[in-house]
Amino acid sequence: MPRQVKWPDNRPREYVSPFQRGAKERNLRLTLHSEALQGGGANERRALDDLLALATLPGIEIAQTKPGILPHLRLDPESEGWDAHEAAVWAGTNTVRHGSYRVDAKSQFPTWVAGVEAFDRPECVYLQTVRDELLLGVAHMAVRHDIFVTTSPRLLALRNNWDFLRRYQHMVGINPRLPSEAVKIVSLFQRSRDEYRTREFYADEVPRITVYRSQFYLTVAYGRLPQAWRFESACGRARRPDDTYDLAKSVLLRFVRALEARDALGILYYTPNADSIADRVVYHFDYLNLILSGAFDALGRVAHRVYGITSPNEFNAGLHRDDFRKALNRSGASDLDQLVSETRLQDLLFIIGRLRNTIHGTAVEARNVGGIENLNMGFIEVPDTQAPKIWARLLKLGSPEDWGAQQRTPTSSQIQNPYSLHIEPYTYAIKLETV
């Protein structure tokens, strides 16, 4: 599940989240942990290069924790008393942003160190590193930056120390992220501002080419479905007198729309919850399942025509239907029958189909789940009549965390319901790409 971001407290002239659009929209602000970003594997170094390339576009403010080409975060004064501190982001000799924070060395620092102590390393050098990293994180919050990009195992371990974070909830606002995690948030943010970047060639070091929205999503769809062009081409070369070629093209088009729905859910995921947000989350979740069902239905209709199947009829040519798969086998499409009968695909079709079918019955609803672990995250509550079977299929295809799924304990007013299934829609949409 993508980690939520604890945005800085609201200010009168700014929205809470940079993903909110309107008169008070603001930039996304990053801090690069210079001391820790020298490490990391090839994947993290490549992600950092991508991040720096994307950060040159409008809407991004970026600072580093050491002086250099970029603006840098400076703690001033650096006193040993640790009482009152000023933090500022400097660009050359000019202050870009500033803020203040207080740290009580006697009462807070020992607890903070214990909170991030992930290893049996009591050496003074290690404790000094913990101190320095935590102070940088607090200063990062003081200047109202959003994401602290780091590879420090100490700060990253802090994200899962719920006892510590419940006691010091303000520390959640450090938002430490690996470069590979941060670049996904930044690229989604820029797509929310209608800025689409891609590599011209896979070997390119960074994404330099700005493209149109439709071209971007089409490129991503072909990347996820590398054989789609062969499928379309074969349907076109057949030169059938009906609309089979158009039907084949609509398959990929629907997967493109599903990617757009995924991004719409992602933008809402990083937007503070409100009544209007909940309504839009439900809309895009319903649409995602509907459009994916339509893509698989179109595939079934193409197969029905190609193999000359007469029963069942074309509009009952669902890949999830036993009678249609048996008809494929009888018509000489045994390899296709074996492919679509594969358990993982059938489980996936079941999940998508059951969630799609809620548009004919009891509707899914949005629920906010509070607590420091969820940051008031929005979940889809699946009707109890569908929940048990969907939950079982989800577990066959991955962990609950992979799907953003939770079984919630019923309240006293819901005892008649065996349990309630909650699904975080953005996590669900991401998982659909990798099943």
Model confidence pTM above 0.85? yes
Q: Which residue do the tokens 């309107």 mark?
A: 22
CA angle 110, 115, 121 (to 5 degrees): 80
Q: Check if the beta carbon of residue 330 is closer than 8 Å to that of residue 307.
A: no
pLDDT in tens, the chain (435 residues): 788 899 998 778 899 999 999 999 999 999 999 988 877 788 999 899 889 888 888 899 999 999 888 888 887 655 444 455 677 887 776 777 777 766 655 445 555 565 555 444 555 556 677 778 888 888 898 899 999 999 998 889 888 877 777 777 778 889 999 999 999 999 999 999 998 877 655 555 556 677 889 999 998 999 999 999 999 999 999 999 999 999 999 999 999 999 999 999 999 999 886 557 888 999 999 999 999 999 999 999 999 999 999 999 999 999 999 999 999 999 999 999 999 999 999 999 999 999 999 888 888 888 776 554 555 567 898 988 888 899 999 999 999 999 999 886 655 444 455 457 999 999 999 999 988
Tokens of 37: 């970003």
Q: What is the 3-state secondary structure (H, E, C) of 165-202?
A: HHHCHHHHHHCEECHHHHHHHHHHHHHHCCCCEECCCC
Residue 383: asked if its preceding bond is cis (omega within 30°), the reply is no
pLDDT tens sequence across 97-143:
777 766 655 445 555 565 555 444 555 556 677 778 888 888 898 89
Domain spans of the chain? 28-192, 213-434
d(CA 83, CA 102): 5
